[in-house]
């Protein structure tokens, strides 16, 4: 069923001359992970860092069958961070958000690396480079 859905979406894009460019580039993924790490290291407000135009476009823009697995994990994590940010930053208590990130960041990175390994967006060399860079960020 899902392949049918994506084929219909691809056909529709062609019919209306809509081009899709996957936004989950290696630079985006590495940059996103660096932002998360800087939130933990520098105690900055989570929402402010994650609401950049590029992050917003990647999370709320168009996606294709190749970027769905990467979009899904980013979106899920973004919602969790957004929940904690909204709940705690309004009272100037960002430590709970940072605690959440520090506790869950390794699991996010592990799941992200696993999905990168299966992704059709990158060749084998690029997959290894991305995983190396996000693990060391």
Mean pLDDT of the chain: 81
Query: Under 8 Å CB-to-CB from 127, ≥6 apart: which residues?
Result: 116, 117, 119
**Residue 6, Cβ density class (10 Å: 0-12 exposed, 13-18 middle, ≥19 buried):** middle
Q: Of the ranges 11-15, 56-60, 78-82, which is most confident?
A: 11-15
Domain containing 40: what range?
Answer: 3-136
With CA atoms as reference, report the closest residue to 69 among 24, 129, 7: 24
What is the rounded CA–CA span in Å between residue 1 and residue 68?
A: 15
Helical H segments across 16-123, by residue range: 26-42, 46-50, 53-60, 68-88, 95-118
What is the rounded CA–CA span in Å between residue 84 and residue 96?
A: 7
pLDDT digits (tens, 9 = 90+) for 7-52: 887 888 889 988 878 888 999 899 888 888 887 777 665 556 666 7
How many domains does the structure of the chain reveal? 1
């Amino acid at each position: 069923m899902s392949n049918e859905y994506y084929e219909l979406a691809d056909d529709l894009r062609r019919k209306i001359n809509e081009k899709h460019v996957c936004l989950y580039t290696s630079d985006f993924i590495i940059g996103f992970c660096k932002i998360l790490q800087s939130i933990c290291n520098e105690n900055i407000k989570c929402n402010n860092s994650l609401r950049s135009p590029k992050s917003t476009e990647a999370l709320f823009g168009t996606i294709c069958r190749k970027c769905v697995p990467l979009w899904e994990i980013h979106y899920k994590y973004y919602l969790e961070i957004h929940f904690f940010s909204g709940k705690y930053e309004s009272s100037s208590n960002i430590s709970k958000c940072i605690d959440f990130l520090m506790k869950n960041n390794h699991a996010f990175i592990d799941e992200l690396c696993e999905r990168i390994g299966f992704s059709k967006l990158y060749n084998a060399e690029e997959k290894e480079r991305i995983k190396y860079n996000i693990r060391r960020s």
